[in-house]
Copies of this chain bind each other. A is one copy, B any other.
Amino acid sequence: MTHQREIILAELKKSTDHPTADELYERIKRQLPRISLATVYRNLEILSTAGMIRKLEISGRQKRFDWDLREHHHISCLRCQRVDNIELEVQEMLPAQAEDRQGYDISGWRVEFFGLCPKCRKDTNNSQGEETMACAPKGLSDNQRQVLEALAKSKEACGSKDIAAATSLEAKQVSCQITALKKKGFVESPIRCKYTITPEGQGALGE
Contacts and interface: CB of A to CB of B under 8 A. Distances in A.
B106 A97 contact: no
A102 interface: yes
Nearest to A87: B101
Contacts of A203: none
Give the top 3 A-B pairs by smallest Cβ distance, nearest first. A103-B118, A106-B115, A105-B116
A194 interface: no
Contact of A104 (B58, B59, B75, B103): B75
Nearest to A116: B105
Nearest to A85: B102
**Copies of this chain per assembly:** 2
B90 A94 contact: yes
Interface of A: 57-60, 75, 77-78, 84, 86, 88-90, 93-95, 97-98, 101-118, 121
Contacts of A94: 88, 90, 111
Given A77-B104, A106-B75, A113 B90 contact: no
A109 B111 contact: yes
A103 B84 CA distance: 11
Contacts of A118: 102-104
Contacts of A86: 98, 101-102
Nearest to A98: B113
Given A58-B57, A88-B98, A108 B113 contact: yes
Given A88-B98, A89-B97, A113-B98, A78 B107 contact: yes
A131 B140 CA distance: 48
